[in-house]
Amino acid sequence: MPAIPTLSLERILHTQGFGSRRACRQMIRDGRVRVGEAVIDNPLCELPPAELAFTVDGQHWRYRERAYVMLHKPPGFECSRAPRQHAGVLDLLPAQLRQRGVQPVGRLDVDTTGLLLLTDDGTFLHRLTSPRYALPKVYEVTTRHALTQEQLRALRLGVVLRDDPEPVSASVCEQVSGHLLRLTITQGRYHQVRRMIAAAGNRVEALARVSVGGLRLPADLPVGAWRWLGPDELARLRPASSRE
Ligand code: URA
């Protein structure tokens, strides 16, 4: 039978974002780490990491080789790693996720709300944001002026943005009510939805992303809250993230 791979507890904590090897070693020696009911104070204790559940200072964690999370982005947060004028979305995550280098998968504008995925898996991030994979993203757009049939037609057929003569179109464009539109796009240009709506002759008052690649923002995830993606949710994104 093949041996089950193990890692030292010190290394496990380090990979999960609990700080330097040295800091993790000290944390363990100080008796702050439990596996099940038992305090393990030997940093070199070898454990199989897969599915390992542990607590640090009473807080529950599970080993994850890679981090895949969703955040219900509130307005007023920047998606960049070095935000300039507002708080950053990474500030809404625990320090352990920031420490392990989690980054947003694509960006939402400061005032845009809704579903934001974050990961420390570079390949996954690249594939989900690459134009080659044309991942569909669904936005709910509240417009300043009542929508007209002409505007809907323009969005479906394609509008020209200032920096590119090639028209961009919505793959789905459904009017929900007088000022509310559900728009699906597969590109990810800068301010794309706002610029498309402006090019069609209207203006965005509020913008919320409700789904990415078939993964919907769950109704029970409060604004500003995050959670790990479940296996089914990841599987839903996998076709885009694993296509060669
Ligand atoms: N399009 C925009 O204009 N803004 C966003 O945040 C996302 C898509």
Render pLDDT for 134-162 as a digit per residue (tens, 0 to 9): 999 999 999 999 999 999 999 999 999 98
Q: Would you write out the chain's pLDDT as a tens digit for each of its 244 residues?
A: 778 899 999 999 999 999 999 999 999 999 999 999 999 999 999 999 998 999 999 999 999 999 999 999 999 999 998 898 999 999 999 999 999 999 999 999 999 999 999 999 999 999 999 999 999 999 999 999 999 999 999 999 999 998 788 999 999 999 999 999 999 999 999 999 999 999 999 999 999 999 999 999 999 999 999 999 999 999 989 766 665 4
Q: What is the CA(80)–ligand 1 centre distance, in A?
A: 14
- Counting ligand 1 atoms within 8 A of each CB, the residue from 77, 105, 112 with the most, and so the one to mutate, is 112
pLDDT at residue 240 in the model: 61
What are the structural domains, with CATH classification, of the chain?
A: 7-62 (3.10.290.10), 68-131+214-242 (3.30.70.580), 137-212 (3.30.70.1560)
The H-assigned helical ranges of 93-221 are 95-99, 122-129, 149-157, 192-199
Q: Which amino acid is at 134?
A: A
Angstrom distance (rounded) from CA 36 to CA 206 = 46
Cβ neighbours of residue 11 closer than 8 Å, sequence gap 6 or more: 21, 24
Structure tokens at 31: 């008796």
Angstrom distance (rounded) from CA 25 to CA 156 = 58
- Distance from CA of residue 184 to its chain's centroid? 18
Angstrom distance (rounded) from CA 242 to CA 244 = 6
Which residues is 141 bridged to in the sheet?
181, 207
Structure tokens at 135: 């991942």
pLDDT at residue 105 in the model: 97
pLDDT at residue 36 in the model: 92
Our answer on whether the CB atom of 193 is closer than 6 Å to any ligand 1 atom is yes
pLDDT at residue 77 in the model: 98
Widest CA span of the chain, in angstroms? 69
**Ligand 1: nearest atom to the Cα of 107:** 6
**Ligand 1: nearest atom to the Cα of 137:** 8
CB 101 within 8 Å of CB 23? no
- Counting ligand 1 atoms within 8 A of each CB, the residue from 143, 163, 207, 217 with the most, and so the one to mutate, is 207
32 half-sphere exposure, CB direction, 13 A CA radius: 15
Phi and psi, residue 32, nearest 5°:
-90, -5
